[in-house]
Copies of this chain bind each other. A is one copy, B any other.
Amino acid sequence: MGERSVQKKQLILEKAKEVFVEKGFRNVTMKDIVDACEISRGGLYLYFSSTEEIFREVLLTKEEEDHVLAESVGENATVSEIFALFLKEQKKEILRSKKTLAAAAYEYAFANPKDTTLKKQFNTGVAMLEKLIRMGIENEEFYDVDARIAAKNIMYVLEGLKIASLTMGVSGETVDNELYMLMQGLVIEEE
């Protein structure tokens, strides 16, 4: 597969992502993707042989984006500020969840219980938060909690908000309340 093909593959992944965002996972057919990419029926099969295969690659692309995000966080000042920034990003993500892969990813996970991509992404998040919390504790910015358990708790609340956003809608205010509680549980307030 030459240079040109790599570009085409990339194009397919981009267009396919839009389709998955719009239609979820199960609902998407190879034809949908063919139409979105404006290529021939057979053409798509040169690159991928099922919607599942395409979705897996789209998910990996997402993962990369997340990594980039995680690293860009590293440049900021105090741990509390980084944490606040992280939560702010999460809020954005939660509120626009209907315009992301989130629903499709859940559907995919339901259909593929063996696949561990979501789990890995979750664990990556936990690990990052854990590290952050440890730093906060060391700096005496955070209460002396069990960093791992606290990290997991944050991730579960975020998951809860995400699925709630997808299935019943949540207001910005609601998210703020939840995130505020998370901060409160960790950050030592100055008097």
Footprint of B on A, CB under 8 Å?
24, 26-27, 98, 103, 105-107, 109-111, 113, 116, 118-119, 122, 149, 152-153, 155-164, 166-169, 174, 177-178, 181, 185
Contact = CB atoms under 8 A, between A and B. Distances in A.
B166 A109 contact: yes
A81 to B, nearest CB: 24
Contacts of A156: 157, 160-161, 164, 178
A26 B24 CA distance: 11
13 contacts: A24-B111, A26-B26, A103-B110, A106-B163, A106-B166, A107-B110, A109-B167, A122-B168, A152-B174, A160-B160, A160-B163, A162-B163, A185-B185
Nearest to A25: B26
A144 to B, nearest CB: 15
Contacts of A168: 109, 116, 118-119, 122
A107 B49 CA distance: 24
